[in-house]
Structure formats: C-alpha cells, structure tokens
Amino acid sequence: MDKLQKLPKTTGVYLFYEKDKNPIYIGKAKNIKERVRNHHDFFMPKVKRIKYIETSSEIEALILEASLIKKHQPKYNVAWKDGKNYFYVALRSAQGKLKIPYIYVTHQFKNYKIKNSKIRYIGPFVEGTALKKTLRFLRRVFPYYTGATHPKTKCTWCHLDLCPGVEPNLLNYRKNIKKLILILQGKRSRVLSSMKNEMKQLSKERKFEEAGKLRDRIYNLQQVMAHINVISEEKHIIKNYAIASFMMTFNRIEAYDVSNIQGQFATGSMVVFSNGQPNKSEYKKFKIKIKNKPNDIAMLKEVLQRRFAHPEWTKPDAILIDGGKAQLNITIKNSPKNVKIFSIAKGRQELFSDNWAKPIPLKNLPQETHNLIKRLDDEAHRFAINYHKKLRKTSLLP
C-alpha cells in the first residue's frame, strides 16, 4: 500500500516493474492513483517498483502508452492483449486514380497486405475507441482521406471540414499528413514549432490571410491536445476553455483546508502555487483557536481572517477552498476584493465560483485545469493533515 500513497491523481502513464530492468506492464489512466489501485490484487505482489509519467491530457497518455509498449514489449501487455488485437493507425500510399496518402485504423498488422501498395503502421494502441476518438479530434486540425477514391463532388466530410476536398493542394496535404503522424508518435512540440515558424514566414511574405488560418489551426491543435473530453455543446466548450485560460494566467493561487476530529486539534493550512507550481516557502499553517466546536465554516473563517491580517504577505490572484457553496460564501466575505474565489465540492465533484450561476462538473474541465485544481486541493489537504497529526502526537507525550 505504501507504493500507492505517493502516486498522483492526475492523467498519465504508469509502469510496473518486477525487477529494475524492464516493465512487466504499462497502462494509461485519467487518474493514475485510482487506476493502479484497481490492479492491486493481481499485480501488487509481483511489483517491486512503480514508475509514472504525468501528461497534460488523455490524448498524450494514449500516445505515450503506445510508444512505451512498442519500446518495452511488457510481458503482461502481450499476455493480456494478443498482438492481432492491438490497434494501429495505417498510412497507405494509395494506388489508382487518387494517388495520395490516406489513413484508417486496423488491428490486422502482420497479415494486412495490399498488392502494389506501401503501408506504414503507427502504434500499437490498446484502446480502439479512444484511438478513433482522438483521430476525430485531430482530423479537425489535419483533414485527411480515409479511402483511395473520392467523389467528383463534395462528400459529407468535406462539408464538415474534415476532408481535404475534391482537388486538394497535394503538397500541403502531404505536409499535414506528416504532421499528423508526428503527433501520433508523441512529437507534438516539434509539430507546433514547425507550424509557428511557417506562420512567421507567411507573415513576412505578407500572406496575412494564410497566416491567420495557420494561427487558428495552431490554436485548435493546442486545445485538442489539452482536452480530449470535448463536450458536444459549443457554449460549454467555450466556457470551459475560458476557465482554463483564466486559471492559467493567475500568478499566485492560494488553497486552504481545515483538519480536525470533532473540533479537537483543529488546524488550517494555506498552500501557495506560483505560476502553476508549489511554492513551499510561502506555505502557512494555523492552529485553530476555536475550542470544542466542530464547525468547519467557523474554522475556515478564522483562518482567512488571520491570513488577511498580514498585509505584508503577498496578495493572491485566486483562492481555492475545500467545500461547497457555504465555504465559498464565507471565503468571499472574508477575502479582499478583486481576488477570484473557487471552491471544490469533492462529494459531487463540482467546482463553484463567486460569479457563476451554477457549479461546473470537474469532469467537464479541460485536463490541464482539472489537474491543477486537484494538485492544489490535494496539497492543501496533505499539509493540514500533517500538522493535525503533529499536534495530536504532541498532546500524547508525557
């Protein structure tokens, strides 16, 4: 169980090691800690070490998982998933009338041969549904053909801007396919850098319309890679992306938590994240002065009042509180103006804010925002619990 305690509750890939040399199993997860816990009965007796790699989205986790499975060939991945059942993205150099590449998904890797064709495989991917969903998102940025022929008029995919059309610019199309393949190989940074350089060059050549279109594609790619769980209603997508960008422009976020047992040994914690990272030199702990009153709202109020009695401490841009609407309201009343207030209700997994009519489910947030909120909340809880335990231990000493 000690192995599990240090694992994060964020998206990424985990690797199980029986010995120190090669992993015996590799998997991806939206919540690494929870997913590894599900493997406990079968794997844990064998596992000596767990390694994990956090990612900013489920798309990146999917791609990284495929890359690592291909590299290490873990024995339990092979035992549980026979090679023919893995999924691959196939890039075929088409023959016949339409002499351009096209893309499709297959799991017939070794036996799938077509006369006079050249096929390149990217994978293996474990989950076909997740892979197809990812390709649908990426197709918005890099439209591609899925067959060797195309009608003489616009197809359904053309009207959705997911197909290159009847008479594509073959040079640009091949460039886009190359970028798509690089993305699926985990080389997102390389693709974004290339696209940004292209945009700068177009601007220098005063091709502003083309540069603007490329700028929009860069933005769309960044959004896709950060947020696989795109909600179908566009108004929610816009709102959630606004939350993501709004939270990431904050320089200083403070998160608070209260820990006690029926009012005894009550403590409060304040943790600080600067530019998205823990700033432990700024952490503060509070020994609650209210006695024998198991009232979390009153305790939170005391912590906030004591914190903001220190004008010499740097003012936060935003505050995150553990709790629902009651905790949100008490924080608003006891915090300076122009500080953005959020509260996280873990029971219903919802995020409240001071100027939203309704809370937003955490699962609907872009992955980067979700991860940041979870890290803040977990860190505040950890810091409060540690101080609470210390006070209890001290009280038991003779």
Question: What's the rounded Cα separation, in Å, for the pair 132 and 138?
Answer: 10
User: How far does CA 2 lie from the centroid of its chain?
Assistant: 25
Query: What sign does the dihedral 203-207-208-211 (CA atoms) show?
Result: negative
Question: What's the rounded Cα separation, in Å, for the pair 365 and 237?
Answer: 9
Give me 253's structure tokens.
């976020």
Element (H, E) at 48: none
Q: Tell me, what's the pLDDT at 316? A: 92
Alpha helix stretches (DSSP H) within the chain: 2-5, 32-38, 40-43, 58-72, 75-80, 128-141, 156-159, 170-184, 188-204, 208-226, 234-248, 296-307, 325-333, 367-396
Nearest-CA neighbor of 365 among 220, 223, 229?
229
Q: Tell me, what's the pLDDT at 269? A: 87
The pLDDT tens digits of the residues spanning 191-219 come to 888 888 888 888 888 888 888 888 888 88
Mean per-residue pLDDT, 113-118: 55
Identify which of 218-222, 333-337, 372-376 has the greatest average pLDDT: 333-337
DSSP state of 154: -
CA distances (Å), origin 148, targets 95, 136, 342: 7, 19, 52
The pLDDT tens digits of the residues spanning 224-241 come to 676 544 323 333 433 443
Q: Under a CB-based contact definition with an 8 Å cutoff, are residues 327 and 343 in contact?
A: yes
Q: Under a CB-based contact definition with an 8 Å cutoff, are residues 198 and 340 in contact?
A: no
Fold type of domain 245-396: Nucleotidyltransferase; domain 5 (3.30.420)
Q: Tell me, what's the pLDDT at 94? A: 59
**Averaged confidence pLDDT in the chain:** 78
Two domains, one topology: 2-64 and 245-396: no
Question: What's the rounded Cα separation, in Å, for the pair 259 and 288?
Answer: 10
Torsion of CA 365, 369, 372, 376, to 10 degrees: -60
Gyration radius (Cα) of the chain, Å: 26
Question: What's the rounded Cα separation, in Å, for the pair 338 and 318?
Answer: 9
Mean per-residue pLDDT, 167-172: 82
3-class SS at 106?
strand
Q: Tell me, what's the pLDDT at 29? A: 86
Q: Tell me, what's the pLDDT at 268? A: 84
Residue 73 neighbours by CB under 8 Å, 6+ apart: none
Q: Tell me, what's the pLDDT at 48? A: 83
Q: How many CB atoms lie within 10 A of CB 284?
A: 17
Question: What's the rounded Cα separation, in Å, for the pair 320 and 304?
Answer: 12
pTM of the model: 0.47
What is the band of 163 on the pLDDT scale with cuts at 50, 70, 90?
confident
**Percentage of residues in the chain having pLDDT higher than 90:** 11
Look up the CATH number of domain 2-64.
3.40.1440.10
Q: What is the DSSP string of 296-310?
A: HHHHHHHHHHHHTT-
Residue ranges of domains in the chain = 2-64, 85-232, 245-396
pLDDT over 60 at 117, yes or no: no
Give me 47's structure tokens.
């596992």
